[in-house]
């Protein structure tokens, strides 16, 4: 069941990117099939039952397509009994700095999608509004430490009590696995047609302290699936009784 289900989920989540051409389709398919974080987010039920999502550094919107495909399969009764119920997205809004990725997203979702809206924008400058979930997957390290802190502070302000911020970072204190992460990051960035970035990592303990000082409850979870990397998922929740 699980193998067939995962194939159906991958097919449904990749299909919207076909109109964007060979690269858009195969990039989405490769990312969604090889990166364990997408499966774990659904299987473990980390997201709320429903909510307004904001993805910063969202690329061409692969996460959004994954969530929509998951909800569609669930509503059709095609869902593993040992997986959590997938979230019902009320809105899926994303900002991406690279216009090429925004263009691919536009071809995938169209201009009038009832849920998805992806725009070009810098996470350091755009208005986050008020949302229930904020995600930044493998993008925080592209901005310097002061701007990281500013972005995280604004994310905290955008979330209600019980809100969720989810990110994945590299643990700079992990030695060689961290450097392997950076090498892969540079390679993927180059393949996507972008210039090689300067990366601003932190040791895991420093990430956790920073987020806790901003008022988050933080859970850490290795997210490498046996690969020799230092990727850590940070599940950051605003306490239910919190005030800004």
Tokens of 57: 């550094």
* pLDDT attached to residue 129: 97
Residue 124 has pLDDT above 90, yes or no: yes
Residue 76 is part of which domain span? 2-237
Inside any domain, residue 128: yes
Give 134 or 186, the one with higher predicted confidence.
134
Residue 175 has pLDDT above 70, yes or no: no
CA–CA gap between residue 225 and residue 227 (Å, rounded)? 6
Inside any domain, residue 42: yes
The domain that contains 63 carries what CATH number? 3.40.50.150
* pLDDT attached to residue 195: 56
The mean pLDDT of 191-201, rounded to a whole number, is 66
Residue 224 has pLDDT above 90, yes or no: no
Q: What is the dihedral of CA 75, 68, 113, 26, to 10 degrees?
A: -140
The mean pLDDT of 10-37, rounded to a whole number, is 95
* pLDDT attached to residue 231: 87
Give the pTM. 0.90
The mean pLDDT of 146-163, rounded to a whole number, is 98
Inside any domain, residue 76: yes
Inside any domain, residue 244: no
The answer to whether the beta carbons of residues 59 and 103 sit under 8 Å apart is: no
Inside any domain, residue 243: no
Inside any domain, residue 156: yes
Inside any domain, residue 242: no
**Count of domains in the chain?**
1
The answer to whether the beta carbons of residues 37 and 233 sit under 8 Å apart is: yes
The answer to whether the beta carbons of residues 63 and 135 sit under 8 Å apart is: yes
Residue 194 has pLDDT above 60, yes or no: no
Inside any domain, residue 205: yes
Which contacts (CB < 8 Å, 24+ apart) does range 218-227 have? Answer: 221/40, 223/36, 223/37, 223/40, 223/168, 224/36, 224/177, 225/36
């Amino acid at each position: 069941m699980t193998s067939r289900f995962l194939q159906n989920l991958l097919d449904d989540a990749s299909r919207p990117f076909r109109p964007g051409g060979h690269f858009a389709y195969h990039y989405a398919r490769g990312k969604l099939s090889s990166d364990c974080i997408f499966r774990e987010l659904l299987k473990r039920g980390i997201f709320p039952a429903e909510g307004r999502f904001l993805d910063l550094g969202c690329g061409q919107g692969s996460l959004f397509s994954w969530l929509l495909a998951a909800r569609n399969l669930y509503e059709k009764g095609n869902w593993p009994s040992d997986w959590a119920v997938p979230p019902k997205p009320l809105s899926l809004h994303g900002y991406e700095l690279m216009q090429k990725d925004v263009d691919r997203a536009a071809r995938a979702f169209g201009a009038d999608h009832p849920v998805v809206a992806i725009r070009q924008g810098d996470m350091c400058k755009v208005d986050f509004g008020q949302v229930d979930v904020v995600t930044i997957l493998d993008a925080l390290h592209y901005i310097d430490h002061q701007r990281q802190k500013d972005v995280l502070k604004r994310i905290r302000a955008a979330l209600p009590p019980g809100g969720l911020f989810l990110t994945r970072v590299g643990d700079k204190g992990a030695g060689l696995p961290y450097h392997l992460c950076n090498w892969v990051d540079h390679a993927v960035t180059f393949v996507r047609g972008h210039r090689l970035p300067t990366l601003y990592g932190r040791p895991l303990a420093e990430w956790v302290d920073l987020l806790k000082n901003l008022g988050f409850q933080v859970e850490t979870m290795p997210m490498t699936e046996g690969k020799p990397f230092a990727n850590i998922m940070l599940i950051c929740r605003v306490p239910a009784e919190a005030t800004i």
